[in-house]
Amino acid sequence: MSRFIRPGAQRIGAAIPSACATTPVSGRTCGLEGVAFENPEGRRALVPHRQ
């Protein structure tokens, strides 16, 4: 992630799914989550990840 999120970046948002269906195997299945950052030069980066 350091390729896109530079030193001094500020976290500007996070997205967490509001509804998670429960499953017998894993307990939860939620899909994608994400965190957004703004780098010092003004560029933004979104880091999506699967829970």
Three-state DSSP at 2 gives: coil
**Tokens 């899909």, residue located:** 31
> What pLDDT sits at residue 44?
95
Percent helix / strand / coil, the chain, rounded to 5:
0, 45, 55
pLDDT in tens, 1-51: 889 999 999 999 887 766 666 655 555 556 778 899 999 999 999 988 876
Q: Is the pTM of this model over 0.75?
A: no
Q: What contacts 9, CB < 8 A, 6 or more positions away?
A: 37, 38, 39, 40, 45
HSE, CB side, 13 Å, CA atoms: give it for residue 33. Answer: 11
